Amino acid sequence: AQTVTQSQPEMSVQEAETVTLSCTYDTSESNYYLFWYKQPPSRQMILVIRQEAYKQQNATENRFSVNFQKAAKSFSLKISDSQLGDTAMYFCAFRDYGGSQGNLIFGKGTKLSVKP
């Protein structure tokens, strides 16, 4: 069974600085998807960024980028120029490639606080 591990329960960063959230996963599959979701205090689950395992290029979305290391099964999220609105719980999630086993498997989350 696939597992997702986020080893940092809580992190904090100063506004405008850069922070990296860690995520490792375990799978025997070669094709899969990885996601980072953000859950602010409103508890809405918001997609931040996604990565397809067969793509070597790391995904980027504005201030958010990932460092995907397939051999190491690592998928870290870098937030540049942190803003107060980035304060949230961040969940790393894994999904099998295609087929009916499409549910997301989440890590336990990292609570990020951006300080002014």
Partner 1 sequence: AAGVIQSPRHLIKEKRETATLKCYPIPRHDTVYWYQQGPGQDPQFLISFYEKMQSDKGSIPDRFSAQQFSDYHSELNMSSLELGDSALYFCASSSFGTGIQETQYFGPGTRLLVL
**Which residues sit at the interface with partner 1, rule CB under 8 A?**
33, 35, 37, 42-47, 50, 52, 91, 95, 97-98, 100-109
Least distance from C-beta 43 to partner 1, angstroms? Answer: 6
Least distance from C-beta 116 to partner 1, angstroms? Answer: 26
With respect to partner 1, which residue has the nearer C-beta, 100 or 116? 100
Distances (CA, A) of 11 to 14, 19, 36, 58, 90: 11, 9, 16, 23, 10
With respect to partner 1, which residue has the nearer C-beta, 13 or 45? 45
With respect to partner 1, which residue has the nearer C-beta, 15 or 61? 61
Q: How would DSSP label each residue in 29-82?
A: -SSEEEEEEEE-TT---EEEEEEETT--SPPEETTEEEEEETTTTEEEEEE-S-
